[in-house]
Amino acid sequence: MDLYSFFNSSASYRVRIALALKEVPFDYIPVNIRTGVHREAQYVERINASASVPALVDGELALGQSLAIIDYLDAHYPEPRLVPVGTMQRARVLELSYLIACDIHPVNNMRILKYLDTVLHVRPDQKEAWYKHWIDEGMSAVERMLAQHRDGPWCFGDTPTLADCCLVPQMANAQRMGCEIGRYPLSLAVYRHAMAHPAFDAAQPNRQPDFVGT
């Protein structure tokens, strides 16, 4: 099984956590999204039509989109289960995961910040305000969800789920970009709990073979 990944990509980080939790062996194939490898014809036509990272290649299957990959892994390597089967817990896990994957991460990822810079020529302080605005909008919503439904050390329950696979990279990213993550105390408690777990530690950007500092 091959994982196409970039060390600093939050979406890649989600899948690395899932693979580590499930203890699935894989080969790490670095894709440097800073130099545009994810947009090269060979990659887009054969590995990942989304022209992004991550992508998983398992035999005949080449699959992009981190949450689709984790769903696939959950079917093939069900222990530990990351998307719960029970309806109510499942709904809460998916709701928080989609909040991060659809409402927070996409508006602050590399391609958007680059467009603000190189096409719209916004000032650095405007770009920083953009980033922090969407983090604050989204993380405030995460806090509301956790305040209503959290009942253990993880986002939901006594074991890590897809919600934790999404929250941890988002918190790491916010911290790296200079956001005050102490404003989100419930998320911070989950983040600290997770980072003490060996699977979450192994999936960190600075543990990856293509890590090159900032």
Rounded CA-CA distance 173/166 in Å is 11
Please, which of residues 53-72 interact with a second copy by CB under 8 A? 61, 63-68, 71-72
**Span of 50-58, 150-158, 169-177, 181-189 interacting with a second copy by CB under 8 A:** 50-58
Q: What is the DSSP letter of 99?
A: I
Q: Does 76 bind a second copy (CB under 8 A)?
A: yes
Q: Does 185 bind a second copy (CB under 8 A)?
A: no
Q: Does 77 bind a second copy (CB under 8 A)?
A: no
Rounded CA-CA distance 59/174 in Å is 35
To the nearest 10°, report the CA torsion of 41, 69, 192, 88. 140
Rounded CA-CA distance 5/52 in Å is 9
Q: Please name which of 197, 188, 203 lies closest in space to residue 17, comparing C-alpha atoms.
A: 203
Min dist. Cβ of residue 138 to a second copy (A): 9
Rounded CA-CA distance 80/27 in Å is 21
Please, which of residues 27-46 interact with a second copy by CB under 8 A? 44-45
Footprint of a second copy (CB under 8 A): 44-45, 49-52, 61, 63-68, 71-72, 75-76, 87-88, 90-91, 94-95, 98-99, 101-103, 105-107, 112, 115, 119-120, 122, 126, 129-130, 133, 137, 141, 144-145, 148
